[in-house]
Chain A
């Protein structure tokens, strides 16, 4: 399994900083890719490989998204589902959703994702200034 997955952000795709060795995964920026399946396919592949080996380990996942379009929202839900499934199998998973305090839409959206988590621990926090 790879140690990390680093994808630089663009104006339409978020930066991916998955430090698998340090069990700290992060997605930052804006998400409205031209091809949502292609972009998130790569991310899902790497995450699945990591989570399948996680067992009872710990993992922290940070979402720091400014904006996501509706097709990306579906992809984010799938990320959350994968993390929740790993937590159900015994991993200690903490999910942090950081929102811009001036945009309550993203705060609300984070809350909606959080409500559906049954096993992973969810934290809704303001982005630091």
Chain B
């Protein structure tokens, strides 16, 4: 029973071409570890340098989006006394890396506030529909601009993902309840 249940889960992922799957709380050391394994797998696959770097770059941006922005989090009520600056908050998300024909695909999903759906939808639609030259111009503009409000990074992540992708980004939202929605983003390289 146990083995067949887990084997079913594995078979489902295999059928979708998934090579790596992580679902759970994501931390920076998780990013480092999965990232190292991903690099090794891409080297074994004999992926060319540009593909290897692009898949890795998209993976890093997607993982960091979950770490920084997922609306599903576990929080310690008080910082531990010994290490006041230690991380007291971890965020939940799902990320898969797989193959589709000759391409690599990196998919990430996490909960977001429903109030953020429109803003994300607008930003992602914009980068999805841009040409490589337009993305280059937007990237430069965002590099120069001050970080967006509520942003913990340079606000460049989606643009970086779109530049590294070989096909237009795909994304979707499913409302869960009055407050939250599930957000998924797929990049093909």
Interface residues of A (CB under 8 A from B): 11-12, 32, 34, 36, 66-67, 69-71, 73-74, 77, 100, 102-106, 108, 112, 116
Contacts and interface: CB of A to CB of B under 8 A. Distances in A.
B61 A12 contact: no
30 contacts: A11-B32, A11-B36, A12-B32, A32-B60, A34-B28, A36-B153, A67-B56, A67-B57, A69-B57, A69-B61, A69-B160, A70-B154, A70-B156, A70-B159, A71-B64, A73-B143, A74-B143, A74-B147, A74-B154, A74-B156, A100-B49, A102-B49, A103-B53, A104-B50, A105-B53, A105-B54, A105-B57, A105-B163, A106-B53, A112-B139
A70 B136 contact: no
B48 interface: yes
B17 interface: no
Contacts, number: 56
Contact of B153 (A71, A100, A102, A108): A71
Contact of B50 (A34, A36, A74, A103): A103
Given A11-B36, A34-B28, A112-B136, A70 B53 contact: no
Interface in B55-103: 56-57, 60-61, 64
B168 interface: no
Chain B interface main SS type: helix
A104 B164 CA distance: 11
A105 B50 contact: yes
Contact of A70 (B48, B50, B56, B160): B160
B140 interface: yes
Nearest to A108: B136
Contacts of A77: 143-144
Contacts of B157: 70
Contacts of A108: 136
Given A67-B56, A70-B159, A77-B144, 8 more contacts: A66-B53, A69-B61, A71-B153, A74-B143, A105-B164, A106-B53, A112-B136, A112-B139
B60 A69 contact: yes
A73 B74 CA distance: 30
B42 to A, nearest CB: 13
Interface in B139-185: 139-140, 143-144, 147, 153-154, 156-157, 159-160, 163-164
